[in-house]
Structure 1
Amino acid sequence: MLKLHGFSASNYVNMVKFALLEKGMAFEQVNDYPSQEASFLDISPMGKVPVLETDQGFLAETNVILEYIDETGEGPALYPADPFQRAQVKELAKLIELYIELPARRCYPEVFFGGKVSDETKQQTRDALIKGAAALKRVAKFDPFVAGAQLTAADAVLLYSLDLAAGIAGKLFDLDLLAEIPDSKALLEQLNQRDSARQVDEERKAGMAEFMAHVRGGK
């Protein structure tokens, strides 16, 4: 059986978990946190999560894991068969990750963990989020899913990136990020109603106290 190494508060872990559930694939979650311990670096070269353990070995990096899941699972396809349409889904997922999720992550310390980030970082983050939202608006279809008629891996990335980024934009910048991307709010609401997303959210809430204890213990 597949084993998903990671913790339930991680949005990247939850992208993979959502995809596994959508594909109907059996898996076991192993509660692991990012680590630079040699034993963990043996399975995750950068010491990050998620990591997918298979019968053949370990896979790191979320986009790689999502593609592996799609190619080996028998459930609904998360990437189109057509090469161009497949590339478009990958483009959307990468755009969301690089220009929305990662900029917002720079402000996580202040929003979620009681720390502070500089005014310069906040300004850079705000500018990057507005630019990223405009880029997503240009290429997303929302018909009804982000890449078109079918749910894809890009929806998994969107679901666990855009809400977080919007929360940061609202709290720090008084910016309604979802309003910058028409139809994104409706899609997020639709995705969150899926059984897979409901299960992921229940497990996220259940694991939050342990995660916060881990963060406090690491300080």
Structure 2
Amino acid sequence: MIKLHGFALSNYYNKVKLLLLEHGIAFEELPNKLPLEEAQLAQSPAGKVPYIETEQGFLCESEVIVEYLAARFPEKHIFAADPWQAAKERELIVFIETHLELNARELYGEAFFGSKVTDEVKATMEKRLRRYVAAFRRIAKFAPYVAGEQFGVADAAAFVSLPLVGRATQAVYGSDFLADVGIDWKTYIKLIGERPTAQRVNADRKAYIEANS
């Protein structure tokens, strides 16, 4: 059985967890806290979560984990069967995680944790995020799912990361960059949130926050 290491506050942990639940892949959750202990750095070298434990060893980085799951369980069809559609799903994930969430992460200290971001960082991130939010809007369908009519792997990434981007830009700039280009992410998140798997992820996240507040 796959062992999932991490904690329920991490959006990338929740992405992997949501996909495991969606596809009925058996797994066990093993809670970790950051920073990881020295011994755990042999399991996750950068000290990040999530990482998984398999009979062959440990594997880190959420998208690498997803690719591993797709290869190990081909019958689960984690990515679309059509090569072009699967590539388009991967394209969306890169935009969501690398171009949007990773850049918005520079704002989280001020947006969510009470610290301040320098004016230089704010200016750089505003320019970069507005560019990539506009680009993402050009390729995302939201019809009603991010890649089209069916729920897919890109939705797992969007569900856990788009709210962070919208809320962080609103908090720091007074403007939700996603909403500014017509992305109604709140309605989209509500749609995904109706899925039993997403409800499980949200409930576990809420319980984690309450237990650690």
Tell me if the contact between 1:33 and 1:48 (Cα under 8 Å) persists in the aligned partners.
no
- Secondary structure of 2:49's counterpart equals coil
CA deviation digits over 1:171-209, x for unaligned, max 9? 111112332243544322211111111111111111124
**Matched residue type, 1:198:** Q
CA contact (8 A) 1:100 1:165 kept: yes
CA contact (8 A) 2:163 2:185 kept: no
User: Equivalent residue of 2:127, what SS?
Assistant: helix
Deviations 1:91-137 (A, max 9, x none): 11011111110111001112222211112212222222221211111
Q: Which segment is superposed worse, 107-116 or 13-22? A: 107-116
Question: Does residue 1:85 correspond to 2:85, yes or no?
Answer: yes
Relative to structure 1, the CA distance from residue 41 to residue 187 in structure 2 (aligned partners, 3 Å threshold; closer, same or farther) is same
Q: TM-score with structure 1 length normalisation? A: 0.89
Q: Percent identity?
A: 42
**Superposition pairs for residues 99-118 of structure 1, below 5 Å?**
99-118=99-118
Structure-2 residue corresponding to 1:68: 68
Shift of residue 38, structure 1, vs aligned partner: 3.2
Q: Which residue of 2 aligns with 1:215?
A: none
- Give the unaligned 5+ runs of structure 2: none
Counterpart AA for 1:189 = K
Aligned residue number for residue 123 of structure 1: 123
Q: Secondary structure in 2 aligned to 1:29?
A: strand
Give distance in 2, aligned partners of 1:62 and 1:206.
22
For the Cα contact (< 8 Å) 1:134–1:181, is it kept in 2?
no
1:16 partner amino acid:
V
Structure 1 residue aligned with 2:140: 140
Q: 1:206: which partner in 2?
A: 207
CA distance in 2, matches of 1:194, 1:125: 33
Range moving further from structure 2, 130-139 or 34-43: 34-43
Q: Aligned pair in 2 of structure 1 residues 170, 74: CA closer, same or farther (>3 Å)?
A: same
User: What RMSD, in angstroms, separates the aligned Cα atoms of the two structures?
Assistant: 1.9
Count residues with an aligned counterpart.
212
Q: Which residue identity lines up with residue 85 of structure 1 in the other structure?
A: Q
- TM-score of the aligned structures, taking structure 2 as reference length: 0.91
- Cα gap change, 1:211/1:43 in structure 2, threshold over 3 Å: closer, same or farther? farther
